[in-house]
Structure 1
Amino acid sequence: MAKQATAEKRQRRERGSINPDDIIKGAFELAEQVGIDNLSMPLLGKHLGVGVTSIYWYFRKKDDLLNAMTDRALRQYVFATPYVEADDWRETLHNHAWTMRKTFLGNPILCDLILIRSALSPRAAQLGVLEVEKSIASLVEAGLSPEDAFDTYSAISVHVRGSVVLQRLYEKNAAAEDGGVALEDNLVVDPENTPLLAQVSSAGHHIIAADDSNFEYTLNCILDHAERQIAKGGKKAPAKKTTKA
């Protein structure tokens, strides 16, 4: 069942005792209870024990508050993500992708703010651009052309974000009050009519699912292609194969 938009009532604060950091911190606490969709200024005021006008003094509308939350979430996420290193590009890029996936899947609020809402403030967007530049520079140093380095990192980024968003939407649909059912749960595999699908399904594979197995397979396809591009350019790529994180 979807969480109802309720919040614990706290003892009311004195006038002027709240600041932007307190509001953002309280918004994250409340979002953990009710979700980003149900987060509202009046509900946040009740959670913090202040009048809603105290919040509007710093954040004129909900989008302004969400932008501030996104800025903070993105800074925490970037610091927790390992860098791509040129001398071991395949292993570090592989770990980079898995860390991004696990970080977003393990933090639904982070996922909703950065991936689903996808409305970054100029400051957050600039921070993201700088991190992408670092990763592409490492891939160029490893032997890829700037174009191939960009395409490689972009493909992995889209792969990570797409798989996470699909999983998050599946979870939201499963928790909906109307009892919505995801497409993959409606698929019926009949051994008579679809013997190959039945065979792989019985071995634990999931159809149209963004699970770890599908994620790892596609990730390695991207990395294999990049390795071939490096070899074609005359620079020997590390022979070490990555394993599932």
Structure 2
Amino acid sequence: MAKQATAEKRPRRERGSINPDDIIKGAFELAEQVGIDNLSMPLLGKHLGVGVTSIYWYFRKKDDLLNAMTDRALKQYVFATPYVEAKDWRETLRNHAWTMRKTFLGNPILCDLILIRSALSPRAAQLGVLEVEKAIAGLVEAGLSPEDAFDTYSAMSVHVRGSVVLQRLYEKNLAAEGSPSLEDSMVIDPESAPLLAQVSATGHHIIAADDTNFEYSLNCILDHAARKIEAGKKGKGRARD
């Protein structure tokens, strides 16, 4: 069942004793208890032991608070994510992808703030631009054109984010409704679908983006980039001849 939107009441603070950092920190604490969807200003005021007007003094609406939380979450995430190195681009890009996936799957609040919320504050968006720029620069140095480097990183990023969001939405729906997923409700008849029955029996998932599916698709992206780099090297060699 979904967590009920409640907050532990703290001793009342003195007027003027709260600041934006305290509010953001408290919002993360409360979100861990009730989730981003159920986070509200009144609940946060109760959690922090202040009147709700003290919060509105710094954050006029919930979206402003969520933007500030996203800023902080994205900054921590960017600093914790390895960049792509030209000398070992394939392995570092793979590690980059897996680190993104594990980080988001391991932190539902981070996932909800950065991936599911569509509105990012300008500062958060700028942090994302700087991250992508560094990764693309590494791929260009490895031998891809800027266009192919962008397409490669973009494909990897979309693959990571899509797989994580699907998993997170599955968890949210299951918690809210207690109903099985589409895949869980599918009945595979070995007589009419022998191939699906065979792969399902060995642990493969048809719809869910599990680690096996994720690795397969990631390898397809990396293999395509490797072919592009190799073709570029051959093209340069012919030009010198």
TM-score, structure 1 normalization: 0.94
Residue 136 of structure 2 aligns with which residue? 136
Match of 2:55, SS state, is helix
CA displacement at 1:175 relative to structure 2 = 0.5
Return the alpha-carbon distance in structure 2 between the equivalents of residues 195 and 94 of structure 1: 33
Counterparts of 1:43-82 in structure 2, within 5 Å, are 43-82=43-82
CA distance in 2, matches of 1:27, 1:63: 12
**In structure 2, C-alpha distance between the alignment counterparts of 1:52 and 1:118, rounded to whole Å:** 26
How many Å separate the matches in 2 of 1:156 and 1:136? 12
Deviations 1:147-183 (A, max 9, x none): 100000000000000000000000011111x323321
Which structure has the highest helix share of the two? 2
Equivalents in 1 of 2:118, 2:108: separation in Å? 14
Per the alignment, residue 124 of structure 1 pairs with 124
Name the residue aligned to 2:115: 115
Alpha-carbon separation, structure 2, partners of 1:195 and 1:155:
32
Partner of 1:241: none
Q: Which portions of structure 1, spanning 4 or more consecutive aligned residues, are displaced by more than 2 angstroms?
A: 178-181
Query: Matched residue pairs, number?
Result: 235
Q: Measure how far apart 1:117 and its partner are.
A: 0.7
Equivalent residue of 1:130, what SS?
Answer: helix
What amino acid does structure 1 have at the position aligned with 2:83? Y
Aligned equivalents of 1:74 and 1:227: distance in 2?
30
**How much does 1:188 deviate?**
1.0
CA distance in 2, matches of 1:184, 1:155: 25
Report the AA paired with residue 142 of structure 1: A
RMSD of equivalent CA atoms: 1.0
User: For 2:92 and 2:188, how far apart are their aligned partners in 1?
Assistant: 38
User: Is 1:196 aligned to residue 187 of structure 2?
Assistant: no
Q: Who is 2:226 aligned against?
A: 227
TM-score normalised according to structure 2 size: 0.96
Unaligned segments of structure 2, at least 5 residues:
235-241
Q: Report matched runs for 1:166-205 at 5 Å.
A: 166-176=166-176, 178-205=177-204
Alignment correspondent of 1:33:
33
Structure 2 equivalent of residue 240 of structure 1: none
Q: Write the letter of the residue equivalent to 1:210.
A: A
- Structure 1: 5+ residue stretches without partners: 236-245
| Deviation (angstroms), 1:186 | 1.5
Q: 1:243 maps to which residue?
A: none
Q: Aligned partners of 2:89, 2:15: CA distance in 1, in Å?
A: 54
The separation in 1 between residues aligned to 2:129 and 2:115, in whole angstroms, is 15
CA displacement at 1:118 relative to structure 2: 2.2
Is residue 150 of structure 2 the alignment partner of residue 150 of structure 1? yes
Q: Distance in 1 between matches of 2:120 and 2:179?
A: 30
CA distance, structure 1, for counterparts of residue 19 and residue 98 of structure 2: 36
Identity %: 89
Cross-structure match for 2:102 = 102
- What SS does the aligned partner of 1:129 have? helix
Specify the SS of the correspondent of 1:227.
helix
Q: Which residue identity is paired with 2:210? A: D
